[in-house]
């Protein structure tokens, strides 16, 4: 019996953690591919019915208030969607006359720094795990219009029908004045 | 200020309905309008609910420049230019908060919330008398006005009083920023502003919200998908008769008029919101009679304060940053007395409608972006834009003040009025000449 790493004792628990991490990484890389390949309908399937898809805003605050540099859920936000609204966003693109994404932007999602703030070794049916990650999203549209959106995601992934589903997503971007003219790219 | 000799009016032909593309792309005109429009007009600065307590401040903008809206220790509101009188550093780089003093991080001059210079580093060692600190207060606006919670200011001491500046558009401001029941209750902001930068001239934003009734194709995709507050149909509830209204001050507004003897079914997607709306609507009719149904929908108050007053309820300020760049600041507001569940429902509706992620506004910004880009060329600039819809239509109305054209006649009279007034500002040497400018024809 080894002392283990990542806070795990027995090897079986540590193997469970590694297995779950691989599953989570695969989940995010598949999500990135679905988005960047404009495969939006299967992307919508990645969400739980009660998803809260929330992108708060950032504030310039004094050092002593640094914990409050992100707007709360009772404040305004860039995006604060439920599943019905996410579906509408996809359907709007699919009309072919959503001018902000017609023609479509070229997008690459890089997802990295994937970490479980509280490591777990098993995720049984119905259980959830908090996952932190970073994103670097490059968007180029028409000729030279280019945006780079960088920030953190704090997700809650839930196992439903033996699949991972996003039950909650918080997207924290590193800009207070948004330097992109719009947010038509899913993060 | 020297006169441009009528050269701005040569770019704006409201008789013919043709307006030069130079207004949207020309660097020299842009520099001139900072002085002639933004340093003279009344500008929206913020909302009273952002600075409730003594010491509260909110960092805002007037035109290109950073300003601080603050409530001093005695409770009085001020608007200051956000720059130290010593070497120009911003004395406040926080978005909002509460403070005793604004302390400059460069050499340490500190200013009280009434603008007075109260601290100078090395005062004894560095300066010989006389150093009259009172001469070196923060630069304060010439005039300020609070109306229905909205805070306005102008740098020009010659500018007319706020009510005269707005003229009959006071009617729109009064009706648009009242609570739903039409009484004297307060409204409050749902939170901090959304701020984002778009590659477009500020005038595209101002004219669009002044009432561009023709841009339905812009928003056809969101109308097909449906994001409205009643089971998601369309993007808003019906507004009744539609009256496009122009005011001589360059202001423009679209009113909806709902007959008070007809039932309303607004906000059917939320039982709490629908119930609160019905309660307000009953009280509104009791208070105002048949005029209760006359409510602004959308408008622009010259030069760059735009609003939606029904669905959503929001203020959008288009701060200029260059001929081809604008910083948009958008806030959302609700009745202060509305139940939390109502505020929650409205927040989610407003956010899916407006802002950079708003399913309606996204498409506007694409259009303003590439309309600007495609107007920049030497050849493109030779061809004026077409503003001829409803030329000659419109007149007085029994329902609302101003020059009114009622749907189904469509009109671009509001952009025409905005640009006529813009040309007045650009050509008039001072407010005496601006006051004398003939009204919109």
Residue A62, both tokens: 């004094």
pLDDT, position B440: 46
Contacts of B218 in chain A (CB under 8 A): 99
Q: What is the mean pLDDT of residues B229-258?
A: 94
- Min Cα separation B357/chain A (Å): 5
pLDDT, position B127: 87
pLDDT at B321 over 90: yes
pLDDT at B113 over 60: yes
Average pLDDT, chain B: 95
Starting at the edge strand that comes first in sequence, how are the strands of the sheet with B110-112 ordered?
Answer: B101-103, B110-112, B117-119
| B173 and B166 Cβ atoms separated by less than 8 Å | yes
Domain range list for chain B: 9-40+161-436, 45-144
**Confidence label for B439 from pLDDT (cuts 50, 70 and 90):** low
Measured between CB atoms, which of B221, B357, B365 is closest to A79? B357
Distance CA B200, CA B321 (A): 9
Q: What is the mean pLDDT of residues B185-211?
A: 97
Partner A contacted by B339 (CB < 8 A): no
Contacts of B332 in chain A (CB under 8 A): 76
pLDDT, position B131: 85
| B93 and B107 Cβ atoms separated by less than 8 Å | no
Measured between CB atoms, which of A57, A74, A95 is closest to B225? A95
Contact across the interface for A183 and B194, Cβ inside 8 Å: no
pLDDT, position B3: 57
In a domain, A159, yes or no: yes
Mutate to test the interface with A, among B192, B219, B371 (most CBs of A within 10 A): B192
Partner B contacted by A146 (CB < 8 A): no
pLDDT, position B441: 40
- Min Cα separation A55/chain B (Å): 10
Residue whose C-alpha is closest to residue B319's, from B61, B117, B26, B49: B61
Question: Which domain covers residue A65, as residue numbers?
Answer: 11-173
pLDDT, position A1: 40
Burial of A64 (0-12, 13-18, 19+ CB in 10 A): exposed
Partner B contacted by A2 (CB < 8 A): no
Residue B111, both tokens: 């200013």
Can you tell me the ipTM of this complex? 0.95
Superfamily of B45-144 according to CATH: Rieske [2Fe-2S] iron-sulphur domain (2.102.10.10)
Partner A contacted by B49 (CB < 8 A): no
**Confidence label for B324 from pLDDT (cuts 50, 70 and 90):** very high
- Min Cα separation A88/chain B (Å): 6
In a domain, A184, yes or no: no
pLDDT tens, N- to C-terminus, chain A (187 residues): 444 566 666 688 899 999 999 999 999 999 999 999 999 999 999 999 999 999 999 999 999 999 999 999 999 999 999 999 999 999 999 999 999 999 999 999 999 999 999 989 999 999 999 999 999 999 999 999 999 999 999 999 999 999 999 999 999 999 999 999 999 999 9
Measured between CB atoms, which of B95, B190, B224 is closest to A95? B224
Contact across the interface for A75 and B191, Cβ inside 8 Å: yes
Contacts of A160 (CB under 8 A, 6+ apart): A48, A125, A126
Partner B contacted by A180 (CB < 8 A): yes
pLDDT, position B166: 97
pLDDT, position A12: 87
Contacts of A30 (CB under 8 A, 6+ apart): none
Partner A contacted by B29 (CB < 8 A): no
| b/e sequence A88-107, b meaning 16+ C-beta within 10 Å | bbebbbeeeebbbbbeebeb
Partner A contacted by B312 (CB < 8 A): no
Measured between CB atoms, which of B199, B225, B232 is closest to A181? B199
Residue A22, both tokens: 């691989």
Contacts of A184 in chain B (CB under 8 A): 357, 362
Partner A contacted by B55 (CB < 8 A): no
* CATH assignment of the domain containing A115: 3.10.450.50
**Confidence label for B396 from pLDDT (cuts 50, 70 and 90):** very high
pLDDT, position A5: 61
pLDDT at B184 over 80: yes
In a domain, A88, yes or no: yes
Q: What CATH code is assigned to B9-40+161-436?
A: 3.90.380.10
| A131 and A115 Cβ atoms separated by less than 8 Å | yes
Measured between CB atoms, which of A62, A81, A97 is closest to B94? A62
Contacts of B398 (CB under 8 A, 6+ apart): none
Contacts of B362 in chain A (CB under 8 A): 98, 100-101, 182-184
Q: How many CA atoms lie within 13 A of B314 on its CB side?
A: 26
pLDDT above 90 coverage of chain B, percent: 92
* More confident of the two residues A4 and B246: B246
Domains B9-40+161-436 and B45-144 share a fold: no
Distance CA B58, CA B340 (A): 24
Mutate to test the interface with B, among A51, A94, A100, A185 (most CBs of B within 10 A): A100
pLDDT, position B121: 87
């Amino acid at each position: 019996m080894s002392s283990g790493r990542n806070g795990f004792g027995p090897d079986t628990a540590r193997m469970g953690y590694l297995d779950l991490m691989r599953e989570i990484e695969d989940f995010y890389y598949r999500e990135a591919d679905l988005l960047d390949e404009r495969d939006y309908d299967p992307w919508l399937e990645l969400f739980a019915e009660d998803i809260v898809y929330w992108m708060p805003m950032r504030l310039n605050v004094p050092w002593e208030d640094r914990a409050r540099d992100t707007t709360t859920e009772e404040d305004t936000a860039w995006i604060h969607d439920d599943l019905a609204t996410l579906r509408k966003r996809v359907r709007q693109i699919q009309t072919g006359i959503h001018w902000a994404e017609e023609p479509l932007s070229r997008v690459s999602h890089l997802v990295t720094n994937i970490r479980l703030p509280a490591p777990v070794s098993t995720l049984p049916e119905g259980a959830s795990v908090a996952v932190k990650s970073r994103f670097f999203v490059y968007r180029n549209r028409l000729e030279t219009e280019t945006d780079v959106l960088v920030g953190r995601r704090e997700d809650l992934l839930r196992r439903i029908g033996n699949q991972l589903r996003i039950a909650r997503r918080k997207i924290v971007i590193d800009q207070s004045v948004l330097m992109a003219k719009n947010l038509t790219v899913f993060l | 200020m020297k006169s441009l000799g009528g050269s701005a009016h040569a770019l704006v032909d409201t008789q013919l309905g043709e307006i030069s593309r130079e207004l949207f792309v020309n660097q020299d005109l842009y520099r001139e309008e900072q002085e002639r429009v933004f340093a003279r007009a009344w500008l929206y600065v913020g909302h009273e609910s952002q600075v409730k307590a003594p010491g509260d401040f909110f960092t805002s903008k007037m035109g290109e420049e950073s300003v601080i809206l603050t409530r001093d220790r005695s409770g009085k509101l001020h608007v200051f230019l956000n720059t130290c009188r010593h070497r120009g550093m911003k004395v406040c780089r926080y978005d909002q908060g509460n403070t005793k003093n604004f302390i400059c991080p460069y050499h340490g001059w500190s200013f009280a919330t009434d603008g007075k210079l109260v601290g100078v580093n090395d005062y004894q060692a560095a300066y010989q008398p006389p150093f009259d600190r009172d001469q070196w207060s923060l630069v304060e606006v010439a005039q300020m006005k609070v109306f229905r919670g909205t805070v306005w200011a102008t740098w020009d001491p010659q500018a007319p009083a706020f009510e005269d500046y707005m003229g009959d558009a006071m009617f729109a401001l009064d009706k648009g920023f009242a609570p739903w029941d039409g009484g004297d209750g307060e409204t409050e902001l749902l939170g901090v502003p959304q701020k984002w930068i778009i590659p477009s001239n500020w005038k595209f934003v101002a004219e669009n919200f002044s009432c561009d009734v023709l841009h339905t194709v812009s928003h056809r995709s969101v109308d097909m998908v449906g994001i409205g507050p009643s089971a998601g149909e369309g993007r808003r509830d019906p507004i009744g008769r539609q009256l496009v209204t122009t005011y001589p001050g360059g202001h423009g507004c679209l009113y909806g008029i709902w007959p008070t003897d007809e039932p309303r079914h607004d906000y059917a997607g939320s039982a709490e919101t629908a119930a609160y709306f019905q309660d307000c609507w009953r009280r509104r009719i009791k208070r105002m009679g048949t005029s209760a149904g006359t409510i602004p929908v959308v408008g622009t108050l010259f030069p760059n304060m735009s609003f939606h007053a029904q669905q959503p309820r929001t203020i959008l300020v288009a701060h200029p940053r260059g001929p081809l760049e604008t910083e948009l600041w958008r806030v959302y507001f609700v009745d202060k007395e509305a139940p939390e569940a109502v505020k929650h429902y409205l927040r989610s509706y407003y956010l899916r409608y407006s802002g950079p992620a708003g399913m309606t506004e996204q498409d506007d910004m694409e259009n303003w972006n590439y309309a600007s880009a495609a107007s920049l060329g030497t050849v493109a600039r030779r061809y004026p834009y077409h503003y001829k819809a409803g030329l000659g239509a419109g007149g007085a109305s029994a329902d609302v003040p101003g020059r009114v054209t009622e749907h189904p006649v469509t009109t671009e009279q509001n952009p025409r009025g905005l640009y006529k007034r813009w040309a007045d500002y650009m050509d008039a040497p001072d407010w005496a000449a601006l006051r004398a400018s003939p009204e919109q024809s």
